[in-house]
Amino acid sequence: MKMIVIPRYKDLFDGPIPNLDDLLQGIPSELILELLSLIQAKVYLGRSDIDQMEVLNLFLSRQPAQIQTKIIRGIFVAENPEKHRWAPLFEMNYILDFMHYILVNFREGPSDFLDTNADQELYLLQAYVIFIENRNNYDNKLFEREETTAEDFFYKKTWPMLSGQFGANIRSNPFTSMIRGVCLLNFLLYDSEYKELTASFLLERGHPGPWSYIMSLSNIIMQSWGNEEPATRKTTKFSISADSEFKQMFDSFALDPALYRNQYKETHQNYEGIKARPLYRTINGDYIILNWNFLSNKLHDSLIFDLHKHFGPRVESFKKLPDFKNYISSKVTEPVLFRRLISTVLKNRKYDVLIFDESQKQGAPDAYFRRCNDIFLFELKDAFFSAAAVHQTYEAIKIEIDKKYNRPNKGIGQLIAHLNRMRVSSFEEPKRYKHNRNLVIYPIMIYTDHFFGMPGVINYLQKAFSEKITEGDLKKEFKIIKPLIFIDLKFLINIIDLCNNSNIQIKELFELFYNEQKRANRKEQRTQTVEDYFSCYDSFETVITNRFSKELYKSKGFVQKLFNSLDLTHGLPQSD
């Protein structure tokens, strides 16, 4: 993570700043949405300087040379005139915000409008730059109004802005979403009491079963990922043909601008409307993809919301989303995904002890694992990050984190309770280790919403956990209590291959992370640079991915092994 500088209007254009609506007058909103969809596809699927230049050329290719030169030089200077790197003028969160603006101010164009001219293309670029400058001014106000100390400077100065960018700019992994989606739909269709409801949900979208739904969507997403290298891709995919065999499903994903404007004219509510319907159906019937990330989320996260809309009116106990989410957590996330992933990642040996909280009673960890004198205490918290806290003040974000992970009866409080119990008794029956003073404790909390993976969240929770350890005078009870590990459930899927096809154990990944935190802090104290300062707040996932990027998903038979571990073969055609 690093700080970047986005060019302002005066860096790129001469004269006073024009009115935004005047610039867009006469240009059909549908055409602007198509252009923004193409831009977000190039940025999302590429993320390189080449892609930024390709996008810029969409606006500049028909402009006079002097205008092109001024704009390109302005972008260079905004980043760093010595390094000659592109400032990322086109970022996913800016594109989404501008898309939201176009949707709530949607206007039809002339029926005979075919394409933009050179002037209109320049107007569109000017409108975009003005819009993101206004957006940055709002972010700067959030940045400036927080009073800070040395301890909370990072959180107060970055979380308000990061929370508004994180969901849009972080590229989701469709493979892990696919796995979670299959687990969810397989349970609901084959093992739950709501089989008929699940079947009707799938049939309304044109699918006979979970695998048909998941694979039809996955194939579109995976095809786009396969074309992401600039040297190999031919065209950037940003639309789906009107004659697609999955038209029924895509219709359910298509956004109506009039309904959108009525519901979201005051605020986009963390892009809720585009997340719910990430496609737009054009006049000719094709579907343009408003956001690839949000389409990918239809494999799991957004799928939960769609299922709730179907189940809620028909099941009394599911009328509220949190109740439906709790049902999924208790029936799928913990007993299916979490337990099977933990069992696979830990590679249980002969004398290891692995205990799950089968009764889900208060006071037992979700998973307890001991190898020799190393004890791992796992707490899973399957909770959404509230949209009401996104792009808000530090205090609002802190309250949301504490509410989900730092309360006496939840998250950190539960881990402290486990340690207090171990003072006087053991989770093992019978107890198979001798003395607490020989034990090394690894406390681990598992989260499921990627917003909790924002930079600094793990540091904040580590500090809170350490303070509770000191308050409870727990250090003297054990040989070592390690710093808290905070890890995304989806990342356990990512490291299955790493932990099962090498000599690397999950303990070594934790130790590598602790060492990297220490190294980053020492380096920042020495260099005092902004980039090194931000590196001190990297998440566990960022550190491990940077270290082992070449080793993830690489072994032969990885997918088959994962399917077998999670028992995902329900509904698949059986070979003879």
Confidence of residue 512 (pLDDT cuts 50, 70, 90): very high
Mean pLDDT within 84-113: 83
The C-alpha angle with vertex 245 and arms to 240 and 246, in degrees rounded to 5, equals 70
Q: What percent of the chain has pLDDT over 70?
A: 88
d(CA 446, CA 15): 53
pLDDT, tens digit, for every residue of 267-307?
888 899 999 999 999 988 999 999 999 999 999 999 999 99
Quick count: other Cβ atoms within 10 Å of Cβ 363?
11
* Residue 80 pLDDT exceeds 60: no
pLDDT of residue 52: 81
Radius of gyration of the chain from Cα atoms?
25
DSSP state of 254: B
Full DSSP string of 518-552: HHHHHHHHHH--HHHHHHTT--HHHHHHHHHTTTT
Which range is least confidently modeled, 81-85, 405-409, 484-488?
A: 81-85
pLDDT, tens digit, for every residue of 252-272?
999 999 999 999 988 888 899
pLDDT of residue 576: 40
**Strand pairing class (410-411; 367-371):** unpaired
Higher model confidence: residue 86 or residue 7? 7
Mean pLDDT within 90-97: 91
pLDDT of residue 375: 97
CB 295 within 8 A of CB 278: yes
pLDDT of residue 540: 97
Mean pLDDT of the chain: 87
Mean pLDDT within 523-551: 90
Which range is least confidently modeled, 158-167, 186-195, 234-243, 399-408?
A: 234-243
d(CA 353, CA 426): 12
Full DSSP string of 446-489: EE-SGGGGSTTHHHHHHHHHHHHHHHTT-GGGSSEEPPPEEEEH
pLDDT of residue 322: 94
CB 293 within 8 A of CB 92: yes
pLDDT of residue 557: 65
d(CA 204, CA 253): 12
Q: Is 84 left (phi over 0), alpha (psi -120 to 50) or beta?
A: left
* Residue 233 pLDDT exceeds 80: no
Q: What percent of the chain has pLDDT over 90?
A: 62
pLDDT of residue 228: 47
* Residue 1 pLDDT exceeds 60: no
Mean pLDDT within 56-70: 94
pLDDT of residue 226: 52
Helices (H), 277-433: 292-296, 301-311, 321-328, 339-346, 394-405, 412-424
Q: Is 381 left (phi over 0), alpha (psi -120 to 50) or beta?
A: beta
DSSP state of 432: -
CB 357 within 8 A of CB 417: no
pLDDT of residue 555: 59
pLDDT, tens digit, for every residue of 445-503?
999 999 999 999 999 999 999 999 999 999 999 999 999 999 999 999 888 888 877 67
pLDDT of residue 556: 61
Max Cα–Cα distance, the chain, nearest Å:
84
The C-alpha angle with vertex 167 and arms to 85 and 455, in degrees rounded to 5, equals 70
Mean pLDDT within 130-148: 74
Mean pLDDT within 328-333: 95
Q: Under DSSP, is residue 353 helix (H, G, I), strand (E, B) or coil?
A: strand
**Strand pairing class (279-281; 239-240):** unpaired
d(CA 457, CA 485): 11
pLDDT of residue 575: 44
Higher model confidence: residue 147 or residue 516? 516
pLDDT of residue 504: 85
Look at the alpha carbons of 266, 270, 276, 279 in this order and tell me if their dihedral is positive or negative.
positive
Which range is least confidently modeled, 136-140, 384-388, 456-460, 568-572?
A: 568-572
pLDDT of residue 415: 97
Higher model confidence: residue 204 or residue 222? 204
What pTM does this model have?
A: 0.89
